[in-house]
A and B are shown apart, each in its own frame.
Chain A
Amino acid sequence: MSGQAFLDRLKKRFGDLITGANLEAIDPWIEVAPQAIAEVGRYLRDEPDLRFNLLNCITAVDYFEPDPKKAAKASFTPHLELVYHLWSIPNKSSLVLKAMLPRWQNDEPGQLPEIPSVTSVWSTADWHEREVYDLSGVRFIGHPILRRILCPEDWVGHPLRKDYEMPLEYQGIRGR
């Protein structure tokens, strides 16, 4: 199925919840409204001719420039981007879904942005979402146990945020 036909089909099924696409990119991607990510995922997994049954990975990209001089020239407005890489074993094809989130919920610093969890669609999302929560600071609604996975439970901050600063000290151990 060509990229355009695929996009048209998703648009027909989900309407405004498909908010954009880039079919010219190296890995063509489709943008989905955050609240619809689990629904779209379930559709992509269960449709007999699509069968995207393998979730390769979930990545969060933080678009934020901490340096005010560089930020003035940056080509983006600050936001978080969630990238879902899917693979279909029967059809041997790949697909990239993206969801745009604000850096902070309601623009209140410290309030983590929220998105529905896809653990009910692909079980592998369980650990991937925990990792994204741990390192990039995104809250997944409906995740069975959303807690840190790589950092210690009492770690402060989310290391892959662009404005993250290494703590001076952790439990008596010098950090910087």
Chain B
Amino acid sequence: MATHLDDPRVIEFDVRTDEMLVNMGPQHPSTHGVLRLVLRTDGEVVSECTPHIGYLHRCAEKIGENLTPRQFIPYTDRMDYLAGMNMNLGWAMTVEKLLKHQLSDKARHLRVIIVEMNRIASHLVGMGAYGLDLGTFSPFLYAFREREKILDLFELACGARLTYSYLTVGGATHDLPSGWLKQCAEFLDQLEPVIAECHTLLTTNAIFIKRTAGLGILTPEMAIDYGCTGPVLRGSGVDHDLRRDGEDRYTAMYDGYAFEVIVERDGHYPRDHDYPAVPREAVLGDCWHRFYVRMLEVMQAIDMVRQAIDRYSTAKGDYGIPVKLAEKLPKGEAYLETEAPRGQMGFYIVSDGTSIPWRVRARSSSFCNLSVTHELCRGCLIADVPAIVGSLDVVMGEIDR
């Protein structure tokens, strides 16, 4: 059959593509760290995406078997380096569970302030970096500017900006400095309009919606099956948040706080009357929903810190005196999961009665969240891969430990 160049079928006849293996990473800005993705592509379409991890593996669990629990605290900072406080808390509470240690009210509220502030900082990075993945730069700068202010506050409280080691077994290393609470409240007041600005720049942006809505759909069943937790699970519409549903020891920390789990119920999110509604193109469980859950969680965390500041300033007791550096551990084992910004962070400790644990295990949320990538990336375009991986908000330090 003779064909002419102006025949639209010519391209189909002449240009054939072959499958090709494409390496993305481990040194690629959109992979959020040293993550290597091997893509099997046919033209622009990705038929298979295999994540390879382990480039940042330091065997933190083995280190934990050679140090006392308080000496291990700095190593937990280096797991999820964007939310060091939450990691400190997870490990400290696991050891406290083993020691059957009870905290004073004041220490409890102090922890809520610090941990929720770190959640805001972490989500700001997640949000800004996600914008960057999709090619928008300004929200990234705005998010980092606000995060710097949180880091300033943390620096005042504990002297460090990234690896805090502030919350330790038995409480915190020291009390908040005077005037800190006032500065913190002022910061929260000026943060709210910035978040509203980010909503106009990202959430309601037509290009942003085009790039994220209906992409990488994670069904609730698949999310649970793959052990996804945190905003990834709630973005799929599963009503599960350990701050409300977790173990008594953990939920007791949030006892008396007014908050609602950020999850879609009948097409609506809690508090979304103040913020843009879900666009028509969005499908539950897609990248847009995961992003939106994070944005609303920032607002919720602001609320919780405000409540905690009030309670902390009136609470009696001490700020939580840390246990002795080499305190003997009782024989036994304990496992506790806490709700870190990226999902549930679980620590497991086995003790044989000495001051050094026999076995330490860290179950990280990003590890499980990332394991679903190959399902989400099947059949998408190459340009969508950074959008999908970015929406999972992974931190490689936590995956490789």
Contact = CB atoms under 8 A, between A and B. Distances in A.
Nearest to B337: A56
B334 A56 contact: no
Given A27-B333, A89-B238, A127 B368 contact: yes
Contact of B227 (A61, A122, A150): A122
B334 A26 contact: yes
A101 to B, nearest CB: 15
A92 interface: yes
- The interface residues of chain B, by DSSP majority, are classed as mixed
Contacts of B226: 123-124
A149 B371 CA distance: 11
Contacts, number: 81
- Which range contains the number of B residues in contact with the other chain? 35 or more
A94 B246 CA distance: 9
Interface stretch (B75-83, B267-275, B305-313, B343-351): B343-351
- Which range contains the number of A residues in contact with the other chain? 20 to 34
Contacts of A126: 371
B224 A26 contact: no
B346 A26 contact: no
A26 B332 contact: yes
Interface in A70-114: 75, 83, 85, 87, 89, 92, 94, 96
A152 B54 CA distance: 8
Nearest to A90: B240
A19 interface: no
Contacts of A123: 222, 225-227, 371
23 contacts: A25-B333, A27-B334, A27-B335, A53-B225, A54-B229, A55-B227, A56-B337, A56-B363, A59-B348, A61-B359, A62-B359, A85-B346, A85-B363, A87-B337, A89-B224, A89-B240, A122-B225, A123-B226, A123-B227, A124-B371, A149-B53, A151-B57, A160-B61
Interface of B: 53-54, 57, 59, 61-62, 97-98, 222, 224-227, 229, 238, 240, 245, 247, 332-335, 337, 344, 346, 348, 350, 352, 358-359, 361, 363, 367-368, 371, 400
Given A89-B224, A135-B59, 9 more contacts: A26-B97, A26-B334, A54-B224, A54-B227, A89-B245, A123-B222, A123-B226, A151-B57, A160-B59
